[in-house]
Amino acid sequence: DAKTTQPNSMESNEEEPVHLPCNHSTISGTDYIHWYRQLPSQGPEYVIHGLTSNVNNRMASLAIAEDRKSSTLILHRATLRDAAVYYCIVQRSGGSNYKLTFGKGTLLTVNP
């Protein structure tokens, strides 16, 4: 499995941008980087994913380092509803792509 490393927690103020980092130094060339978030007492929900290029959607942006060993999830203007645990995982392509493992994620606190 491609392991990921994230900070245990981060704090932000409402309306400010948030940059959530993730290291995945053992990533392979065809592995995808996915981000999920989990609100309290709920199942995780998909946020964004990417392969090599930076990606944007209505929820967030994903910046992927040129060597692909790290990535950053960007919330452009944090709101109180963005307070959650954010998980970065690597999804392998090919025959072993079914085993999907999560780390502990980053607990994001948003201050009003």
Partner 1 sequence: DGGITQSPKYLFRKEGQNVTLSCEQNLNHDAMYWYRQDPGQGLRLIYYSQIVNDFQKGDIAEGYSVSREKKESFPLTVTSAQKNPTAFYLCASRSDRLPNEKLFFGSGTQLSVL
Identify whether the C-beta of residue 83 lies closer than 8 Å to the C-beta of residue 56. no
36 binds partner 1 (CB under 8 A): yes
Give, as one character, the DSSP assignment of residue 25. Answer: T
13 binds partner 1 (CB under 8 A): no
Q: How far is the CB of 16 from partner 1 (least distance, A)?
A: 25
Identify whether the C-beta of residue 33 lies closer than 8 Å to the C-beta of residue 96. no
98 binds partner 1 (CB under 8 A): yes
41 binds partner 1 (CB under 8 A): yes
H or E element: which one contains 35?
Answer: strand 32-38
C-alpha to C-alpha distance for 62 and 104, rounded to whole angstroms = 19
Q: How far is the CB of 87 from partner 1 (least distance, A)?
A: 7
64 binds partner 1 (CB under 8 A): no
By beta-carbon proximity to partner 1, the closer residue of 16 and 102 is 102
